[in-house]
Structure 1
Amino acid sequence: MNPKLPKTGRDKRRPRPDIGSMVAAARSEAEKILNALTDGRNPKLLSGINPYRLVSILGDIDTLENSAPQAPIMRSEEYREIVDTTAFVIKTDAQGKILYANDLFCRSLGYDYADLIGRSADVYCHPDNLAMYEDALKSPKVGWSGEVKFLTKSGKELFVELRLSKDFDPSGNLIGSIAIHYDISDKILHRNIAKQHKELNSIILDEQPNIVAVLEKGVGIISLNRAFFKTFGFKDLNDFKQRQKSFFDIFSQHEDSCSIAHSKWWLDMLTGAAGQMADRRVKAHDADGVLRTFEVNAKILSLGKGSHLREYYIVSLNDITAAQKEADNAKEEANEAHRESYAKSSFLANMSHEIRTPLNGIIPVVELLEEGVLDVGQKEYVSVIKRSAQSLLSIINDILDFSKIETGAFEIDNIDFDLVEELESITDLFVAKAHEKGIDFCVFIDPQIPTCTMGDPKRIKQVVTNLVGNAIKFTESGEVSVAAELTARDESHITVRIAVKDTGIGIRSEDVSDIFNPFTQADNTISRKFGGTGLGLSISKNLVEMMGSQLQVESIYGEGSRFYFELDLPLCESGKNRVDIDNMHKTIGIYIVDNDRARRCASTLFRYLDSFLLNYVEIHNRDEVELICCDIMIVVSTGCDFIEWIDDSLRERLRIVSIVPANTKNRNRFRSDAVISMPINGSKIYDAILDNRYHATEDIHKIAASEPAARYNASVLVAEDGKTNRSVVQALLNRLGIEPVFAENGFQAVEAVKDLYYKEDRGFDIILMDIHMPVMGGEEATRQIIEHEDRMGVDRKTPIVALTADAIKGREKKYLDQGMSGFISKPIDRVKFDSVIATFLGHLKEVSEPVVSSSDQHSLQTNDKASRIAETLGVDVEIAEMLLDDFYANWREYHTLFLKAINENDLDEIARVAHIVKGSAGSLCFYEASEIAERIEDHAKERDEVDYKTMCETLEGFLK
């Protein structure tokens, strides 16, 4: 049954066309675009199709042709109706004049039927296509198809797809044509838009400075922009595809670029789908064969869904060849500069050591000459030699430090120390210099700073020493002040601000930024007038930065300068408050001689008393003393002033403390209970207030130091492989009444512990354990001793104290974490050694008669090496001489071992021997030799290729 078709509203006055010809044309069109039915007979089909308004009516043409005569007429009418609803249909004669036009043609172009009949194509065909269209209508060719542009009556453009069929007479002459047109205006519009988008995208890609490639996964390259062809020299995409298999075949495998070209997952790697790539640089040769460097990035785009899903990759290549070359050149320049700097610094370091060697021979000899019998002229000559040698040594030390900083060989330690004690020791060094120049030297070191912090005391002292030295050097009159103030504190850290201020020449604002540069001073006249290398501030700045701070300066030219920095210092577990406030309930009366120097000193005094939380008031006469009921009276004087109203009756009930200028002679004239020399410090004030003895406070520590050493009834095991070190430790322990047991390595130490437990069912009272020993080191020995005591169920574990030259940052904590109880660094400090022994053996202390050291008797007559060792270690000179003899004898053995190891290039043996010599030399005050041995050890451990033989000879020179 045939489907019903809508009415077309045909004008019945219009003559009927030749339907047969129209059907033939429609059938030809339908046969081209429809599929066969699926019933296996493959009949022909008829279909009227518009691409955007699809109407499909199917009919069995074979059935139609074989039906009764009435059927074709009826069917032809139906087909005409189909065509009328889907296509523009016209029939023309042989000259192209319109004989028929269907309703859809007329309506779409806006013409009446009568307006078109007999007219040529120029009525409706666009001038651009008119000649082609008319030729097609008049051509004797059987058929023609194509796209044509029409113009409606209103002038609107209309695009159609033409299917042209010709009608011929029996003689083959053209009778006319039937033209079926489909409106494809929307299709053309979308096609043009798509074309514009494509052109726009192409322009955008071509305008990109980077190479851009679009690739479809599983297909390959879709497009490449202009930059690609310009860079790599291919004519077009076809040329590229003929010469390369894939996009990344153009890239080269290179050691400093990624290997994506050789990975099947390179696109996924770039887009992150298979893990992020660490390096996105690739190498490729351009059209001229030049190897170029690119930075590659990619983005994945997924379009469509299901079976229509397509994945595209947008790959971008940024040519960084120039930037990479510049970076490589900069890196090479930096390496070259580093090599030159290292060579320069190594030369400076070697030369510094070479110069220090004779200087360390000159200075001691000059000091010996000073103590001899010389006339006035000779003494002046010797003084000049000494000052010159010391100045040269100071310069050499600066150069050596600078070279270490430049080469990165400078390390900051992190050890326990007393900051107040270290800073007070520095200021004592400058008292004489300040007094010589007639300038005031004021020092405030906050007494609230705890007794133990962690850091590098040597480098802090070096910075402060440099700043104070500069301040005094550049100040002709007025004052130099040093202040160390506690600015913050919590349970684990303190913050201390250290400042040095002067009233010297100051610095011009334009020169401030340059003063920290090496070998630089504010202007050239300074070095001529004041001397110096211009390294001090540069070294200080670097040291402060290495300690985590910044060295800053405030200065007014002609008025003075202030240098300052802040340090964040961890607190030691053993640290405690310095001041016992509970014992200081006293009222202080202060009398100040009326002059500027006394006033400046008094201002510092007030700061100390405030820190001690003491009550004080300034007094001017006896009546005020009676009124405020003073416990202590402090007189701040600048000469031998005698305060007449301080009579005997006041002296009997008051403690009188006098503060006098440095180097004041005949202090007894002040008739005071204590006399303090300027500059004052917290320790002097604290001791003067609490100590009831009559003395000059500078003597307090000397009195304490001269008291006899404690003696202990204790058994001590010393594990030490260095002969000289064993002798030093034995001397230190003998003076404490202890005869130690020695082990030469860790294995012997473990066996000694086990043997004592086995024989006497007890352990040693303390073990002093060297860390680096042959056979078994101190750390392993400690572990085995602890395990042995654990197995035996010992209640009181034997304290094990590390005895080592490795006093560098973090080592002490490391040893404590391994179960050790304490730490003594080499060279051994006698006071620290005695303190550690007292900490662990205090319960075994004996009451004994004072033992007077014979070193006291010889100290005035001798000034040789043995005397200095005796004074340092607190032993007799005879024992010190014995230690020296042992050391020199052992050195001959170590020297032989050194040379043998150097000849065999046995770096481990070189490091081992150097470690022993470092500790031994340091303990016997051969500090320069100890430093060189440490350098040898460090180089050997780092496997550095240096001249060990020359360094060994330098070491021998220091020991001679």
Structure 2
Amino acid sequence: MNNNRKTLLLTLGATFVIMAMLVAYTTSLMYRSSDSYIHELGDDKASAITADLENYLETARSVLWVAADTVDHMVAKGATNEEIVEYITRESANTASQFDESYTGIYGVINGQYVDGVGWTPPDDYDPTARDWYLDTVAAGGQPLVVSPYVDAQTGNVIISICKALTNKYDVLGLDLTLTGVQETVEEININGSGYGFILNYDGTVVAHHDSGEKGKNYSEDPDKAELFNKIISVDKGNFDMVIDGRNCSVFVDDVLDQWHLVIIVENSVLLKDTINVLIVSILVGLLVFGLISTFYILGYRHERKVNKSMEEMKANEQKREYEAKILMLEKSAADSANKAKSDFLADMSHEIRTPINAVLGMNEMILRESKDEQILEYSANIKSAGNTLLSIINNILDFSKIEDGKMSLVPVEFDTAELINSLINSISERARTKGLEFNVDIDESVPSKLYGDDVRISQVIMNLLTNAVKYTENGSVTLRVKNKGIDDGSVTLRFDVIDTGIGIKDEDLEKLFMSFERLEEKRNRHIEGTGLGISIVNKLLTMMNSKLEVDSKYAIGSTFGFDLKLRVVDAEPVGAFDEKNRNSRIEPDYIVHLNAPDAKILVTDDNGMNLKVAVNFLKIFGITPVTCGSGAETIELARKERFDIIFLDHMMPQMDGFETLKVLKDEDLLQGAVVIALTANAVVGAEEQYLKAGFDGYLSKPIMLADLEKILRNNLPANVIDGTVSNTPEEAVSSSSALSAEKARALGLNVDAALVYACGEEDFYLELLTDYANAAYEKCSELTSYLDNNDMKNYSILVHSLKSSSRTVGADEISDRAKALEDASKNEDADFVKEHHGSFVKDLKELAARILG
């Protein structure tokens, strides 16, 4: 018994020591982690406030820059001071209406005389050239300058000035800002509801302070504040601990435009209050756990037999848990195997089915383009319909896989409403006619003609509903109805309904409608093709577009499938009436080619001869005669002898597949700048990422679609081999050959009328600004890309903000809107959005610049 007592005491003692050590270690770790987190939080808070202040000042600088450039231009043109005063008065009024009351108007010194945009007449002894704002600006040599705070001669308030010297170096234009906005920002500064902030000028003057009584004091001359000031200057940007007013405090410092210092001071005891409370709770919990353990040990000591029995039960339970764990492991292994089998099946099915579909649809496309025989064209149309049905089935399976794996994303673009609806009508009307169904179209004439959204996914949703309606309707009609529910704040809500007189759905089957791979009344509908995924995909896509599918069905009578969709309006002009007789007068190819590149050097590699024929015929549509081969080894030999612009390389080939071929091409440095595009029928989830990771520059899925092929050619062929594009309008043909003019700018889609307002109505000056804008675009695009590569969201935000303003100034409204979206994202540190949209933004900006300069 004594041995048992000693064992118990030793066990309890060891347990207490171990738990004490554990509590001490976790307490220290939690304290260090909390301290590090809080300091990071403070630094981030300071950086965010600094960014707001700099944006606040940068807005004023942008306004002044535009005004200064205009006045500079007017001075060069010999404008009088009265004309200049009239202009800055107008701009001061515009500034007052566009911004808050912090902006007090534009003023300056022109031709040695003081000019003022708000009508202030200075006293006789007022010498503007002796004021700090004038002297400091002239000394800055033409760069915009934020002048140190001073007392305004007009209002007697403490203000700051944004000033810029004109080209002649002695004329100066300025814009005053009161410190109201800065003071309001400072008064709201806190970290987790505690602390205060203030702003120091570089000379120690308090610009703004949580305690308004501190404003205007000079901390460099105050013995009580000198140590704090010196410490702030030495740190410049970061944080430090210091005893302030007898309390241990954390001080966070950030630099504002190399002139001010933002300072945030928080008492350490307040910052760490929650951490200390958590540590106390942790210690108490540890003691409670130790007490419980001790209680169990004592109970075990007193009831040894009962404990032994409990141990046996625990052992049995442990064996049971081990057995259950093994079962779970086997079930997990089976699930993983099933998922792998599904992925392998999808990959094999994708390749094995899409490869022959590529040949069928590709050759059929050539029949549609080359045949003149109406009977053959009708046969070809039937082939196309059947092929597209088969392709739709496999695409549904692949789309479902993408959605389930979270790889499906929306790609919004501007699209023509009439084109989208006509495409749906043309795609479904033949199926309805074949079944003897009446296909009705009820399109609200007030629907806007151009919208912004993912037209591909919208078409997919409506097409799935129309296809189902035709499938499950034997007699009667199918109706597509689109209604305008109203436009609000630049967006329209459209109601889409697909109405049929089909077999309908029983009430008890409605819930099954949204289940994957579930088909209703399988025995009754066994003759109807499909996977049971259509409605499931529709529902998931509508959820991604912030909508939902609504179903109203009566068994044996018919069904209505509908949804509301909110889309941004690009052009509010009504779409008008749809003329049935002009919709489909003759069977035509779906896609009109816009690119011609007879000098392009293209190599196509595919071990399937039929696929090679399809690729060759498709490329001939673009005026290209490609080189072809059937293996990786031939590709390597051809690359050794000749340089190509683009190499279309099939993935799955015998002996040497596409991955192995690409590795040899890169190892032997045979590409010489050629772009390598993966040509494959493997369209499962993750395929594109797989090819890009392997070193391919792009990815083209079979069956090949002309639109996808043209996009790859346009994005990757050198500009000098493209022999122009098809001009869609007479205006475009004129603009491509004419010199830079306001008419050409309008033809390029620029808002010239709005831009001329910024250029004082002078067309020559506007064209000069437009040329400067285009010349600077390439360098700014390079700078933007560099900032993105370095994950420098702060400078990215500043530069894209500048592009937003300059684009609006020259009338590039669409570019300006996209720049604003990137600016908002970069300010919010949304790197994913920036990375997703940066490439297309830079590409379109460069293309616009090239068209302006061309």
TM-score using structure 2 length:
0.38
Larger Rg: 1
Tell me: higher relative CO, structure 1 or 2? Use CA pairs within 8 A at least 6 residues apart: 2
TM-score using structure 1 length:
0.34
